């Protein structure tokens, strides 16, 4: 049995109409509602806050939740130090020979919460391995800005406690992977 052109056209019009109705119904369901009996499901997008944390959408209008307010930042406190790269020779004697001693290293680092869960600041060391970063008083860790499985990998071995006033000095060691 052959379908005539008129029937094909009618089927196409019906299909387009059903599709358009589906889009309208879907849009109405996705549109934020003020009806407490029918709460709105917000999309799972996230917004990056200045402190490194993320917030999602919330409320009847699916607006982003406010970022946490870290309060005033004291720029007269922070961490300063030196970044050293080593080992630089495959066999290191104790004490190390001068040509095999750890060397100053220019790299990108991140300051994180002490547990490493949240990035607080990013800093780069210069060619002499020297860096300074302003952070509020608290406990921190420092690690490479690059992913953890890329060598050389840098990291502070202990928690760095920034005092209420002034800067704390630290040395960040970067592992070359040479053994």
| Predicted local confidence at residue 51, as pLDDT | 67
Instruction: Write the pLDDT tens digit of every residue in 10-68.
Output: 777 777 777 766 655 655 554 455 555 666 677 778 887 776 677 888 888 888 888 87
Spell 116-128 as b/e; 16+ CB within 10 A means b. eeeebbebebeee
Contact call for residues 119 and 104 (beta carbons, < 8 A): no
Q: Of 22-31, 95-104, 107-116, 168-177, which range is least confident?
A: 22-31
pTM: 0.57
**Angle (CA) 167 151 115, round 5°:** 45
**CA distance linking residue 73 with residue 148, whole number of Å:** 29
Cis ω for the linkage preceding 172 (within 30 of 0): no
């Amino acid at each position: 049995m052959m379908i005539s052109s008129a029937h094909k056209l009618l089927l196409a019009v019906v299909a387009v109409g059903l599709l358009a109705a589906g889009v309208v119904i879907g849009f109405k369901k996705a549109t934020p509602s003020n009806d407490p009996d029918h709460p709105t499901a917000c999309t799972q997008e996230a917004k990056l806050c200045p402190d490194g944390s993320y917030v999602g959408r919330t409320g009847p209008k699916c607006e982003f939740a406010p970022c946490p307010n870290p309060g005033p930042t004291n720029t007269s406190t922070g961490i300063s130090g030196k970044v050293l790269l080593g080992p630089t020779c495959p066999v290191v004697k104790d004490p190390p020979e001068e040509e095999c001693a750890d060397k100053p290293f220019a790299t990108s680092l991140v300051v994180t919460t002490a547990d490493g869960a949240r990035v607080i600041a990013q800093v780069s060391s210069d060619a002499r391995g020297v860096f300074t970063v302003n952070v509020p008083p608290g406990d921190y860790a420092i690690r490479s800005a690059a992913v953890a499985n890329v060598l050389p990998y840098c990291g502070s071995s202990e928690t760095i406690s920034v005092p209420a006033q002034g800067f704390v000095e630290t040395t960040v060691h970067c592992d070359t992977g040479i053994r």
